[in-house]
Amino acid sequence: MTHLQGREILLGVSGGIACYKGVEVLRGLKRAGAGVSVVMTAHATEFVQPLTFQTLSNRPVGTRQFDLDQESRIGHIRLAEQAELALVAPCTANVVAKLRAGLADDLLSTVLLATTAPIYLALAMNDNMLANPAMEENLEVLRQRGVHIIPPETGFLAEGREAPGRLADPDRIVAAVARHFADSAPGGTLTGRKVLVTAGPTVERIDPVRFITNRSSGRMGYAVAEACRDAGADVLLVSGPTALPKPTGIALSQVTSTEEMRAAVLEHQPAQDALVFAAAVSDYRVRNPAEHKIKRAGRPNLTLELEANPDIAAQAGERKRPGQVLVVFAAESQNLLENAEKKLRSKNADLVVANDITEPGSGFESPNNRVTLLRRGADGAAAPPPESLPLMEKSRVALRIAAVVAELLALAG
């Protein structure tokens, strides 16, 4: 279950060119399982039609303060009271000024004044407006009142130049909302923690054209990195080559070979609170990769001599400091639990995420996974029984892994 599953979010959309990104914010909230009620200002409807938000939210969109149907049920109060969090994305300078002054002259400003839910403002405006002393003062007053500000990014503005003021990436906005609920979840926060996650395959060179690799897409590792980020962690993702987009709000170290991944992991390990090894690392590499392309002519057979790659997880396990949590993955085709338990011990790990790679619809190249979590017993105590999760999306598996990492760190003090 995601931190947004079943949550009630009020999404306010105010008038600006970034309104089209509000649609992506809505989609992100819905994908994460939230129920979303949308309120649009009159100017916002000039950029995007309410029907778009209504179709995606599966709910009526509020646009008028005195809508006869809505107000017969005191609509603005109902919207204010049912919201667990109010998010305005995009939020214009005008909305900021209204909220600071306590004005209630349209449906959105009325709902924001009436709600007791936390308020998040994702700013989007001209750079000069953003830097205006009146705007800076308004934002400071709102911060003192407990309003959360999602600052804009620097990027290409509608004015045709690069400057601060562009609405934050929709994924970053959704992540900020998810983090709010993660921080309030008992034992579910990683706020203030540093987590390193490995992901994807590693690639071992045969010659300048050919290489050895595996079928890993990197989806599981990227999902774990995003789940840890959403739980408040400062995440470093060490990734082999994948076709996945760079996740927002996460430091990315791109590597190719197993040796490059090992060097990156061991360099950063001392500063980490937890390490999650989700990468599918090549166990072997070519002993003597060719400097030039190997020609087929005159070669009816080709023999490659392979040598073992370093065991990154085992080396990290040897260097693990007290209180540091280590998570490894075990992709097995037989004797799943037996092999996973061996890996738990041999890697000095605290948690093993085991999955059967022969199961249809699970594992490599699939958006879904079925895993079993095996933990080490604390302070010599018997280990908890294995926790078998049903087949589910990798993003949901990742949320459970992040929650267990938070629990293990809390136990480690």
Q: Which fold has domain 189-291+304-412?
A: Rossmann fold (3.40.50)
**365 has pLDDT over 80:** no
- Per-residue CA distances from 86 to 109, 117, 185, 198, 266 (Å): 11, 6, 18, 35, 42
Domain ranges of the chain: 8-181, 189-291+304-412
Element (H, E) at 114: helix 107-114
Q: What is the pLDDT of residue 74?
A: 47
Q: What is the pLDDT of residue 379?
A: 66
pLDDT tens for 226-248 read 889 888 899 999 999 999 988 88
Active site residue 94: no
**295 has pLDDT over 80:** yes
CA-based torsion, 351, 409, 5, 45: positive or negative: negative
CB count in 10 Å sphere of residue 69: 9
Q: Examine domains 8-181 and 189-291+304-412 and report if their fold is the same.
A: yes
Catalytic residue among 94, 126, 214, 368: 214
Identify the bridge partners of residue 355 per DSSP, sorted by sequence position.
331
Q: What is the pLDDT of residue 230?
A: 82
Q: What is the pLDDT of residue 183?
A: 67
Window from 96-100, 140-144, 343-347, 394-398 with minimum mean pLDDT: 394-398
The first and second tokens of residue 39, run together, are 């309120």
Question: What class is the 8-181 domain?
Answer: alpha beta
pLDDT tens for 16-44 read 999 999 999 999 999 888 999 999 999 99
**280 has pLDDT over 90:** yes
Q: What is the pLDDT of residue 1?
A: 40
Identify the bridge partners of residue 85 per DSSP, sorted by sequence position.
9
**Distance separating alpha carbons of residues 51 and 23, to the nearest angstrom:** 11
pLDDT tens for 113-133 read 999 999 999 999 999 999 999
**72 has pLDDT over 60:** no
**94 has pLDDT over 90:** yes
Average pLDDT, the chain: 90
**344 has pLDDT over 60:** yes
